[in-house]
Amino acid sequence: MEALLELEGAFARAQADAAFQRSLSTILTEYAGRPTPLTFCTNTSRNLGCRVYLKREDLLHGGAHKLNNTLGQALLAQYMGKTRLIAETGAGQHGVATAIAGAVLGIPVDVYMGATDIARQGLNVDRMALLGARVIPVHSGSRTLKDAVNEALRDWVASVEDTHYVLGSIVGPHPYPLMVRTFQSVIGEETRAQCLEKEGRLPDVILACVGGGSNAMGMFHSFIDDPVRLIGVEAGGEGLDTGRHGASLCAGTEGVLHGALSYLLQDAAGQIAETHSIAAGLDYPGVGPELSHLTHTGRIEAAAVTDGEALDAFGSLSRHEGIIPALESSHAIAHALRIADQLGPDDIMVINLSGRGDKDVGEAALRGGVSG
């Protein structure tokens, strides 16, 4: 608790500190490559009969939106005088982004990663090692993302005096959901300005994939008070009726995991369920508390896409736009393809392309998602 109170105080001070904000802005622009483009998709727009844009977080340094948050938190760690970073990772994108932030700012990084995820995300494991981070395999529980979070929390309670825990999504105890959403909100702020500039108005519908929900809330936050349809797309895995999925908003019930109240996948007694998704970054039984609340109130729609549909969308965007999306982001694309017939030719759809798919090419090939 004391660590969270310390973090809450430091985050509030940093938010009001012009020097801190300047450092963050500079590193996001000159190092990470912001702003990322809002790309009009000519071919997909023609095929779907509406105006389709991609917010290109795949072009952010590191290949995913994760760096927005890790640079922010690593700067905050320096601000607090912490000399070591730890992180959890699922697909490895957050681990890589933390390793990048640690490398550029000169802070040692330890990353907890489930043994199952290590086996299926070899490229990112090697990238983290190359970037100087130590990857610690987690063999407990389902050996995926939630177990990596458990292990990182265990490390942190023992090392809190010199260590900052760089949580990668809008989950966990306060102030993490607020802090991570704040660092990711640059996605929605840019999208808003870029859409106004290109189209003279806001989009009609925005889609983002949801695991914990950081790219989704980062995108949605700037549009909460606008008449824009916001859709979070979850991992339907092998289908919601099979129980093998990661769709907490669509199929979960209220519960508390890792210090936050949200929708959770759990059994009748409250034991946390094991989840499944083709996309390791969506393989998490909870979801951010703010996203849960906004779904509960009806402001945000939740949908689920199966492994197979995501794989089809992965291939489709690659062939039609020359952009290989992460399997996580492919969920948002798949649902966009599904709802396009609800839109007219002048309607504007924005899909948050949260990451690039190089890391997934091997997995997709194994499942026959590369040919044809």
Question: Catalytic residues, which ones?
Answer: 41, 65
Nearer to another protein, 66 or 258 (CB): 258
- Residue 150 interacting with another protein (CB under 8 A): yes
- Residue 87 interacting with another protein (CB under 8 A): no
Among candidates 314, 354, 358, which has minimal Cα distance to 337? Answer: 314
Residue bearing tokens 């458990």: 150
H runs (alpha helix) in 135-185: 145-159, 176-184
Among candidates 285, 318, 277, which has minimal Cα distance to 121? Answer: 277
- Residue 81 interacting with another protein (CB under 8 A): no
| Cross-strand bridge partners of residue 136 | 112
- Residue 371 interacting with another protein (CB under 8 A): no
- Residue 2 interacting with another protein (CB under 8 A): yes
Nearer to another protein, 108 or 259 (CB): 259
- Residue 153 interacting with another protein (CB under 8 A): yes
Nearer to another protein, 16 or 157 (CB): 157
The only residue of 22, 134, 154, 198 in contact with another protein, by rule CB under 8 A? 154
Distance CA 348, CA 327 (A): 23
Nearer to another protein, 226 or 254 (CB): 254
Distance CA 80, CA 78 (A): 5
- Residue 264 interacting with another protein (CB under 8 A): yes
The only residue of 256, 346, 358, 365 in contact with another protein, by rule CB under 8 A? 256
Contact 325, 35 (CB under 8 A): no
- Residue 178 interacting with another protein (CB under 8 A): no
- Residue 157 interacting with another protein (CB under 8 A): yes
Q: Which residues contact 357 (CB under 8 A, 6 or more apart)?
A: 58, 314, 318, 324, 325, 326, 327, 329, 330, 364
User: Where do contacts with another protein occur on this chain (CB under 8 A)?
Assistant: 1-3, 140-141, 146-147, 150, 153-154, 157-161, 254-259, 264, 266, 268-272
